[in-house]
Structure 1
Amino acid sequence: MTVTASSAPTVSRWGRRLRWATAAATLAGIDLALKARAQTALDGSPIEAGPVDLRLAFNPGAAFSIAADAPSWVMLTLTTLITTAIAVGGWVVAPRANLLTRLGLAALLGGAAANVIDRAPDGLVTDYLHTGWWPTFNLADTFIVLGVIALIITTLIGNSDEREQLSPDHHTDNRD
């Protein structure tokens, strides 16, 4: 039996949003758990692990310690506003976006949210991945970079779901 696109089960708008939000929350949770573990396991005892060592560091600024001298409330406010904008944009886009776009937005939101949550108590973001040639970073930073790369790729190749919606042969599905 062959399954065609028209007979394949579809996910509702709310289902796509829920999956997207769950993916973002899962990524944030993974990073926050690793940050908590790094704070206990790496305090004063870095681990040399090859190309990426585990070394505890704290960053009061944004990426590459930009604005590290700014008051912590300013950094928290700015990063919270940016994270909120990502969440709102993702919520709006998720129902009609392709899988790569949703994954990119989930990675971006998960990483940004984890860093905001980590920054909230003391104004510092916990970093634990150290290469020696790049500033120390964390998994949330990696999620953010990978999310941006995914969004750039989908921008360059286009969103097949959006092309399908614009197609004259496309029949609208009003299920929510």
Structure 2
Amino acid sequence: MSEHTTRVSSATRRRTALAAGAAALAGADLTLKTWAQVNLADAPVGPAFAQLRLAFNPGVAFSMGDTLPSWVVVAVTALITAGVAVFAWRTAPKSKAAAVALAVILAGAAANLIDRADDGVVTDYLRTGWWPTFNLADVFIVCGGLAMLALSWRPTDQEPDSTPT
């Protein structure tokens, strides 16, 4: 097997794993959103400082853009999600930590996009009492972003590839 074939198959495996991980995590979030819509419709559950409470957000983070037409929010969300997906696909990170962080970000973005596509709102269900209500996809996006930020500060052990392409 040539070196080029090995690189291609290795990149394909990394891409497939990243996409599968993102799909599984997005599925988990969408399942929880469905559960919340069924089980939290009548009343919140839990103490005020950590409650499960059903809410619907027509905007994005912190309800920004909630007065915009829903098609605008869906379109912008779709563009951002597509950008993350293209970046993840093209980079196919060799670092497992970077691949997981990208998969987590992509999962959150895709799950919120899928949830929003039907009616223009995102289902939220996690309420702390001092922070706006959010969902697991939001946690994915924030934690994945923080992980990518932390990874960007980590020195790399690899020499740049000087082979002409």
TM-score normalised by structure 2 residue count: 0.89
- 1:149 aligned partner: 146
Following the alignment from structure 1 to structure 2, what is the Cα–Cα distance between the partners of residues 52 and 93? 38
Larger mean CA deviation between 142-151 and 50-59 belongs to 50-59
Shift of 1:82: 0.2
Following the alignment from structure 1 to structure 2, what is the Cα–Cα distance between the partners of residues 14 and 63? 33
Q: Is the 8 A contact 2:48 2:129 kept in 1?
A: no
How many matched pairs? 156
- 1:6 aligned partner: none
Shift of 1:120: 0.4
Matching residue's letter, 2:139: T
Q: Deviations over 1:22-79 (max 9, x none)?
A: 1111110000000000000000211015742100000000100001000000000000
Shift of 1:100: 1.1
Matching residue's letter, 2:108: G
Q: Secondary structure at the match of 2:72?
A: helix
- 1:104 aligned partner: 101
Larger mean CA deviation between 77-86 and 98-107 belongs to 98-107
- 1:131 aligned partner: 128
- Aligned ranges for residues 40-51 of structure 1 at < 5 Å? 40-49=38-47, 51=49
- 2:56 aligned partner: 58
Q: Is the 8 A contact 2:25 2:104 kept in 1?
A: yes
* Change over 3 Å in CA distance of 1:167–1:71 after alignment to 2: closer
- 2:137 aligned partner: 140
- 1:92 aligned partner: 90
1:166 correspondence with 2:163: no
Shift of 1:165: 4.7
Q: Is the 8 A contact 2:125 2:133 kept in 1?
A: yes
TM-score normalised by structure 1 residue count: 0.83
Shift of 1:97: 3.3
* Change over 3 Å in CA distance of 1:50–1:19 after alignment to 2: farther
Following the alignment from structure 2 to structure 1, what is the Cα–Cα distance between the partners of residues 65 and 48? 30
- 2:68 aligned partner: 70
Aligned counterpart in structure 2 of residue 121 of structure 1, from 118, 140, 148: 118
Q: Deviations over 1:75-112 (max 9, x none)?
A: 00000000000000000111x43111111110100000
Following the alignment from structure 1 to structure 2, what is the Cα–Cα distance between the partners of residues 15 and 61? 36
Instruction: Supply the RMSD in Å over aligned alpha carbons.
Output: 1.9
Q: Which runs of 5+ in 2 are unaligned?
A: 1-6
Aligned counterpart in structure 2 of residue 26 of structure 1, from 7, 24, 27: 24
Q: Which runs of 5+ in 1 are unaligned?
A: 1-9
- Aligned ranges for residues 4-15 of structure 1 at < 5 Å? 12-15=10-13
